[in-house]
Every structure is written in C-alpha cells, then in structure tokens.
Structure 1
Amino acid sequence: MSKLQTKAKLIQFDAARYLGSEEAIAEYMTAVLETEDPDLLLVALNDIARAKGMALVAKEAGLGRESLYKALAPGAKPRFDTVLRVARALGVKFTARAA
C-alpha cells in the first residue's frame, strides 16, 4: 500500500500585502528606521510603494517608474533627496528624537 502524500504549498511572504493602512505603514517604517540599516530602509520603501502602486508613487515623486524601481532596488545607493521625494509620495515623514 502506498501512502498519499500531500505537499504544503507555501507562498512567499510579501510585506506589501499587509500595508493597507496608514497606521500599518507608520509602524513598519518606525520598526525599519530603528534598525538603522539603509538597505532595509530601501526594502521598506519598495514594499510600501508596491502596496500603493509603483506607477502612482513614481508620478507623485516626480520620477519615472523605471527610475523608482532602480532607486529602491537592493544595493542601490539613491540620493538622499530621492529618498525624501519617495517618502513624501508615500505619505511617510521622517522624524528625529533624542537617542
């Protein structure tokens, strides 16, 4: 007799699927900024941009869609003003507090 084997089908985790509210986005960005990891910041901005729609975010940031993809790609080194324009387009504001 053979046993019937079923394989679990897992989907890859995508943070963008869980960023449907401004509160979720704010919590996500706060956690990312606390890591002080610039690469993780780009990943988070990419996740939020995908959640909101890359074409819309690119337009609001004054960038081409391809330029936005390149700026937020792993290992990219975007200019700080580009990061600020993207954050503004995403409705994200960076704040500072005493360490």
Structure 2
Amino acid sequence: MEDVTFTRYDTADYLKTEADIAAYLKAAMEGSEDDPACITRAMEVVARVRKTICVAS
C-alpha cells in the first residue's frame, strides 16, 4: 500500500483580504444557526488572521 501524505488545512491560510474575511463570517453565520460554537470558531480564525495581517504590516 502506498503511503499517503496530507497537509494540515487551516482556513486562515485562505483569508487574505477584508472581503475574504467578511464572506467567511457571513457563511459561518448563515450555516451555523444550530451550532453557536461554529461562530466562535470562525471568530477565532479571524482573530488569528487579523493578528497576522497586523504583524505583516
């Protein structure tokens, strides 16, 4: 059997602009009506992205 290697997926890697962040938060809010923890996770991702953007600036 062939070894398969997977890379770690992190949504934060794909949120590059404020428009990306806004669309991500909108999708999280629309898709999480029954799971408030989903919004919390989305906010944590956005916080990490914004911290990275501030450090890079």
Q: Which residue of 1 aligns with 2:38?
A: 40
Off by >3 Å, runs of 4+ in structure 1:
none
Instruction: Return the structure number with greater relative CO, CA threshold 8 A, min gap 6.
Output: 2
Q: Residue 33 of structure 1: CA displacement?
A: 0.7
Q: Residue 7 of structure 1: CA displacement?
A: 2.3
Unaligned runs of 5+ in 1: 57-99
Q: Residue 23 of structure 1: CA displacement?
A: 1.0
CA separation in 2, counterparts of 1:50 and 1:9?
Answer: 26
> Larger radius of gyration, structure 1 or 2?
1
Please tell me whether residue 31 in structure 1 is matched to residue 17 in structure 2: no
Q: Which residue of 2 aligns with 1:73?
A: none
CA RMSD of aligned residues (A): 1.9
Deviations 1:16-51 (A, max 9, x none): 111111111111111111122310000000111111
Report the TM-score when normalising by structure 2: 0.72
Relative to its length, the structure with more helix (as a share) is: 2
Report the TM-score when normalising by structure 1: 0.45
Please tell me whether residue 21 in structure 1 is matched to residue 17 in structure 2: yes
Q: Which residue of 2 aligns with 1:9?
A: 5
| Aligned residues with identical type, % of pairs | 31
